[in-house]
Chain A
Amino acid sequence: MTDEPLIYDLSSPGRRGVRAPLPQFEPVDPTEALPTSELRTDLPLPEASEIDVMRHFLRLSHKNHSVDTAMYPLGSCTMKYNPKVNEVTARTPGLADIHPCQPPATAQGALELIYELEALLASITGFPAVSTQPAAGSQGELCGLLSILAWHQSRGEARTQVLVPDSAHGTNPATGTMSGLEVISLPTADDGGIDLQNLKERLGPGAAAIMLTLPSTLGLFERRILEVVELVHAAGAQVYCDGANMNAMLGRVRPADLGIDVMHLNLHKTFSTPHGGGGPGAGALAVQAHLEPFLPGPRVVRNGEVFELADPPPTSIGRVHSHLGNFGNLVRAYTYIRSLGAEGLREAADDAVLNANYLRASLSDDYDLPYDRICMHEVVLAGTRQRRLGVRTLDIAKRLIDYGIHPPTIYFPIIVDEALMIEPTETESRESLDNFIDVMRRIAREAESDPDKLHDAPVNAPVRRLDEVTANRRPNVRRVPEGGD
């Protein structure tokens, strides 16, 4: 594939793209309205024709792999099919062309949708209260920890630590720091679960919460979850669940029933709102009743047949979004849940878990399996056997690109050497999984017979491996104008 020039290189002085609307009024000269000193003299934007802009971005799009192209088994990201009907409903004029400041009386349908979505998510997770305000999972984490801290404070307690397993997503410790907490790392036990003895030792009077991922990033359900919850509660701390992996649990278990206090959901994972090349996501937060007074606001409430926006109570942690969150994605998630119903959601979890176990069983002869037990929606393999042949997990990943498959998440969780974290999702067919298995086996053979094929990969992608060292050392993060800095 050839280089695509920057849009700036397609620019030519005086060339026009789209036309502005016809004037509706006698023009006001900006120099009459504003002091000349406030007006810019130069606007260094590209000047390209509409067709050039269209072709430029179309050609760029061709350089992307996507779920609609082929399998994308990126662990912990739930790259499932994004139903097209969701894009239709999100573009309904009455749900798209509405302004966040219009009075609630003129946005009853939007408020009802938020209210109903929160109720659906409450049913699915078992928590009595849900806020769909957080814009993504990480912001949900921040709201969750701040709510827990506010709850402790309401009881006259100032707790300063958060316990985070060493297998956790990086967002968990980062959120701990943003919440002003000291992050205490918990080692993982030999069976991939939480080490209860160790937990007991670290659960001191300063512990505000534990953040655990369920199923864990090893793709395993925490078998000692009830004991963990009991220990944490006995120490006066709260249990936060990172719900990035909720796809494994739909209709099989409600996290609230396990005694968990607060959980965020990634609507762009479990509930199929598209990943958008890196967002927008949406990160609903679900809590037990004792934490509801602390949820971010404003919240949608029902008053008879009318939906209203209630200001947050004084106990609330406050706002985390300029309005009511990523509403367009709430429309998509609502559409998805209404399309599937209870049975469909459970079927999604069942097939997601079956697909992951099918990969586990089919690939364990060719790759090391650090935790050899039934997994949930994802399986973590290790390229340790291949490393002895001089091939790294990175090489395996890059070779997958040559076969037209997006690599799994690699080198994560960080506690697994040469990790390959594979999440097929429920929307891959058996044939698609068989193709993946076949390719992974072929790569294992290549590692034995022709390791350089892996070292050189990819050779069939738009570019070969990149010089990331120079990119970091001398960052070039914008096009520098001619004659400019």
Chain B
Amino acid sequence: MSYAPNTDADRAAMLRTVGVESIDDLFVDIPVQHRDPTLDLPPALPETDVIRHLAELGARNATSSDLPSFLGAGFYRHFVPALVDQQLLRSEWYTAYTPYQPEMAQGTLQAMYEFQSLVCDLTGMDVSNASLYDGASALAEAVLLCRGLTRRPRVVIADTVHPAYRDVAATYVSALDVDLHVVSAACRDATSVRPDLQPLVNAIDDQTSCVVIQRPDFLGMVVDPDPVIQAAREHGARVVVVVGDPVSLGLLVPLGDLGADIVVGELRSLAGPPAYGGPGAGMFAVRSELIRRVPGRIAGRTMDLDGKNAFVLTLQTREQHIRRERATSNITTNQALVTLGATISLCALGRRGLREIAEQSLTAAHRAAEALAGAGAVIASDAPYVNEFAVHAPGGAAARLERLRKEGNVLAGIDLGCVSPTFDDLILVAATELTTADDVEALASAWAQTQ
């Protein structure tokens, strides 16, 4: 079974047209000693059985219905309206490809243009591309853009940028002449943590191509980035801002207004459930003067021969299929379907809906913090936050998280030891508009129970 419709009679007739006797004759260019290996695969399963098998695998994972979850760190469980998935299951969207033939792909192209417009509205930037793979590779591409633009070797990156994003950026530049300099942007005392941008400011010099910060930062904190932006301006460095939770954009001052040159982030939370971390969608937005250096697809508005409004992939001379080794990036396929989901979601939520879920997320996080404090926890975040904060875990975050899960039946958060070993007694807790009062009660009582 291969979903192939041809019958043996069809095949026989087609082989006659081709002028060969058997299908084997079509594979004669393969070295004979390596032809026709036996593949060691399990037997084929009919639809019913494969669904059952996958359901069994799924049953061995805990979903948010099984365990109250306060996990965030780039993937947030937000409300995605029902119409989103109904649209994503439309064949015209998901079984099409990159709109190489614009006359047959106006739907995809206009949706891309609307996505780009929404990203610009949310971020305050001038230009957005049609997406990159995920937040992490979007950051890596931003670093590459700044290197190409400034021809400077140094990248200053705050340690409060998502650690996996930092790692991916390091991988992307590993074969290039780039000095990726990770600088502390948060300081500790015994039980708390607060932003401290001074080391970042000090690290920016005339060899710095860009400085990378996150907002809200990986610890959830919101801090005025102005000192960093001013220092970057003084030294001719660019400012790259990673967005923590995209829903926070409904509440916070647009990053373009703050002086960002490039804004990147992960948009999966707007389009669907976390799906174990992928497929995501990397947001990539810039100031207009950088448009010709942007990686990936961009949809543009134009007209057809009759003067009718139409959309087309534009500025393609940036791209690998035209420019080859001189392209701005090697990216081809991006995350179009995920960005379509985010687009529809943002349109259905609209101006008020996005603001409401952002405010509800903020409320849920602050109520969760209060409940934890009531259960004896010390809230470590010594800075304003939207929907993610740090809690002090005496004796270590990892051990406490394990007890909270095993004894308290709650996924309470993430061990912040991944940011820096000095943070390994901090737990990162996220809440959203889907966090219920019962979830918060479960978290607080689990905390009290595991003192």
Residues of A within 8 A of B275 (CB): 90, 95-96, 98, 327-328
Cβ–Cβ contact B333 & A98, under 8 A: no
For residue B114, CB closer than 8 A to chain A, the reply is yes
Residue with the greatest number of chain A CB neighbours at <10 A, chosen from B99, B110, B353, B355: B110
Q: Which of B30, B35, B363, B386 has the most CB of A within 10 A?
A: B30
In the bound assembly, the distance between CA atoms of A53 and B26 in angstroms comes to 50
Cβ of A397 < 8 Å from any Cβ of B? yes
| Alpha-carbon distance A68/B89, docked complex (angstroms) | 12
Cβ of B187 under 8 Å from chain A? no
Residues of A377-408 contacting chain B, CB below 8 A: 397-398, 401, 406-407
Whether the pair A354, B27 counts as a contact (CB closer than 8 A) is no
Q: Assess whether A24 is interfacial by the CB under 8 Å rule.
A: yes
Task: Assess whether A60 is in contact with B175, with CB atoms less than 8 Å apart.
Answer: no
One of A199-207, A232-240, A440-448, A459-467 at the interface: A459-467
Instruction: Please give the distance in Å from B130's CB to the nearest CB on chain A.
Output: 7
CA distance A384 to B146 in the complex (A): 43
| CB proximity of B446 to chain A, nearest CB, Å | 15
For B266, the chain A residues whose CB sits under 8 A away are 322
Q: Report the separation of the CA atoms of residues A350 and B276 in the bound assembly, to the nearest whole angstrom.
A: 35
Contact indicator per residue, chain B 23-40, by CB within 8 Å of chain A (1) or not (0): 101111111001111111
**Cα–Cα distance between A204 and B282 once the two chains are bound (Å):** 39
Report A-chain residues with C-beta under 8 Å of the C-beta of B3: 80-81, 83, 272, 348, 426-427
* B414 at interface, CB cutoff 8 A: yes
Complex Cα spacing A282 to B353, Å: 33
Decide yes or no whether A278 CB sits under 8 A from chain B. Answer: yes
A449: interface (CB < 8 Å): no
Q: Which among B23, B50, B126, B224 is the interface contact of A354 at CB below 8 angstroms? A: B23
CB of B64, distance to nearest CB on chain A (Å): 6
Q: Would you call A483 an interface residue if the criterion is a C-beta within 8 Å of the partner chain's C-beta atoms? A: no
Contacts of A278 in B (CB 8 A): 97-99, 108, 130, 297, 333-334, 336
Q: Does the CB pair A98–B1 fall under 8 Å?
A: no
Chain B CB within 8 A of A4 CB = yes
Least CB separation from B130: chain A residue: A278
Q: Does A190 have its Cβ within 8 Å of any Cβ on chain B? A: no
B1 touches A340 (CB 8 A): yes
Question: Does residue B212 face the partner (Cβ distance < 8 Å to A)?
Answer: no
Of the candidate stretches B188-196, B201-209, B229-237, B301-309, the one touching chain A is: B301-309
Residues of A within 8 A of B176 (CB): 178, 180
Partner of A21, one of B71, B274, B360: B360
Nearest Cβ distance between residue B361 and chain A, in whole angstroms? 10
User: Cβ of B54: which chain A residues have Cβ within 8 Å of it?
Assistant: 89, 92, 95, 113, 331, 334-335
A321 within 8 A of B: yes
Determine whether the beta carbon of B309 is less than 8 Å from that of A470. no
Residue among A83, A175, A254, A466 with most chain B CB within 10 A: A466
The answer to whether A329 has its CB under 8 Å from any CB of chain B is yes
CA distance A226 to B103 in the complex (A): 43
Asked if A35 is an interface residue, CB under 8 A from chain B, the answer is yes
B360 touches A477 (CB 8 A): no
Q: How far apart are the CA atoms of A28 and B386 in the complex, in Å?
A: 11
A138 close to B (CB within 8 Å): yes
Determine whether the beta carbon of B360 is less than 8 Å from that of A23.
yes
- Assess whether B310 is in contact with A466, with CB atoms less than 8 Å apart: yes
Is residue A339 within 8 Å, beta carbon to beta carbon, of the partner chain? yes
The reply to whether B81 and A17 form a contact with Cβ atoms under 8 Å apart is: yes
The answer to whether A253 and B37 have CB atoms under 8 Å apart is: yes
> What sequence of 0s and 1s flags, for each residue 317-353 of chain A, a beta carbon within 8 Å of any chain B beta carbon?
1111111111111010011011111111111101101
Q: Which of A48, A323, A464 contacts B306 (CB 8 A)?
A: A464
Interface residues in B128-147 (C-beta closer than 8 Å to A)? 128, 130-131, 133-137, 144
Chain B residues whose C-beta falls within 8 Å of the C-beta of A314 in the assembled complex: none
Judging by beta carbons under 8 Å apart, are B26 and A467 in contact? no
* B165-205 at interface with A (beta carbon < 8 Å): 165, 167-168, 170-172, 174-177
Contact B276 A67 (CB under 8 A): no
- CB pair A53 B83 closer than 8 Å: yes
B298 at the binding interface (Cβ < 8 Å): yes
**Chain A minimum-CB-distance residue to B433:** A21
Contacts of B362 in A (CB 8 A): 28, 30, 33
Q: Least Cβ distance of B433 to chain A in Å? A: 5
Q: Which residue of A lies closest to B327 (CB)?
A: A174
Q: Tell me the smallest distance from the CB of B44 to a CB of chain A, in Å.
A: 3
Take A401-B103, A477-B314 as given contacts and tell me if A96 and B44 are in contact as well, using a CB distance cutoff of 8 Å: no
Q: Which residue of A lies closest to B106 (CB)?
A: A63
Known: A18-B348, A361-B17. A466 touches B127 (CB 8 A): no
A95, A170, A429: the one contacting B324 at CB < 8 Å is A170
Contact of A268 among B254, B274, B333 (CB under 8 A): B333
> What's the minimum C-beta distance from B272 to chain A, rounded to whole angstroms?
7
Bound-state Cα–Cα, A280 to B20, Å: 39
Name the residue of chain B whose CB is nearest to the CB of A59. B107
Which residue in B167, B331, B355, B367 is a CB contact (below 8 Å) of A28? B367
Bound: A113/B59 CA distance, A: 12
**Which of chain B's residues have a CB closer than 8 A to the CB of A481?**
121
Select A253's contact among B35, B91, B96, B354, beta carbons within 8 Å. Answer: B35
Q: Contact at B126–A61, with CB atoms within 8 Å? A: no
Q: Quick one: which of B241-295 are within 8 Å of A by CB?
A: 250-254, 266, 272-281, 291
Please tell me if the beta carbons of A341 and B44 are within 8 angstroms of each other in the complex.
yes
Known contacts A326-B279, A335-B54, A464-B306; is A85 also within 8 Å of B47 by CB? yes
Does B376 touch A at the CB level, under 8 Å?
A: no
Please indicate the chain B residues that have their CB under 8 angstroms from the CB of A320 in the complex.
136-137, 168, 171-172
Contact with A along B358-397 (1 / 0, CB 8 A): 0110111011000000000000000011100000000000
Chain A residues near B10: list those with CB within 8 A.
429-430
**Max chain A C-beta neighbours (<10 A), residue from B85, B136, B275:** B275
Q: Are A124 and B93 in contact (CB under 8 A)?
A: no
Indicate if A183 sits at the interface (CB-CB under 8 A).
Answer: yes
Query: B421 on the interface (CB 8 Å rule)?
Result: no
Closest to B5 in A: A429
* In the assembled complex, B105 has its CB within 8 A of some CB on chain A: yes
Q: How far is the CA of A251 from the CA of B341 in the complex (A)?
A: 36
Question: Which residues of chain A have C-beta atoms less than 8 A from B442's C-beta?
Answer: none
Is the beta-carbon distance between A60 and B121 smaller than 8 angstroms?
no
Residue of A nearest to B366 (CB): A28
Q: How far is the CA of A142 from the CA of B405 in the complex (A)?
A: 38
Question: Which residues of chain B have C-beta atoms less than 8 A from A222's C-beta?
Answer: 29
Least CB distance, B438 to chain A, in whole angstroms: 9
A197 is an interface residue with CB less than 8 A from chain B = no
Contacting residues, chain B, for A341 (C-beta < 8 A)? 1, 41-45
Q: B19 to chain A: which residues have CB within 8 Å? A: 361
Taking a contact as CB atoms closer than 8 A, the residue among A66, A322, A353 that contacts B23 in the complex is A353
Contacts known (A60-B107, A278-B130, A321-B168); A108 close to B60, Cβ less than 8 A:
yes
Does B44 lie within 8 Å of A344, measured CB to CB? yes
Q: 1/0 per position for A259-303, CB-CB distance to B under 8 A?
A: 000000010100010111111111000000000000010000000
Q: Separation in Å of the A352 CB from the closest CB of chain B?
A: 8
Q: Is the CB of A322 within 8 A of B252?
A: no
A318–B174 touching, CB < 8 Å: yes
Contact of B357 among A20, A64, A338 (CB under 8 A): A20
Cα of A451 to Cα of B269 in the assembled complex, Å: 51
**CB of A165 within 8 Å of the partner chain:** no
Residue of B20, B56, B316, B350 near A46 (CB, 8 A) is B350
For the complex of A and B, the 8 pairs showing the least CB-CB separation, nearest first, are A94-B58, A323-B277, A100-B277, A341-B44, A276-B337, A109-B60, A68-B91, A280-B279
A to B CB contacts below 8 Å, 6 in the list: A34-B222, A99-B64, A100-B277, A178-B329, A461-B103, A472-B316
Q: A34-B384, A66-B91 are known contacts; what are 9 more A-B pairs with Cβ within 8 Å?
A: A54-B83, A94-B60, A113-B54, A169-B320, A257-B37, A278-B130, A321-B133, A465-B304, A478-B127
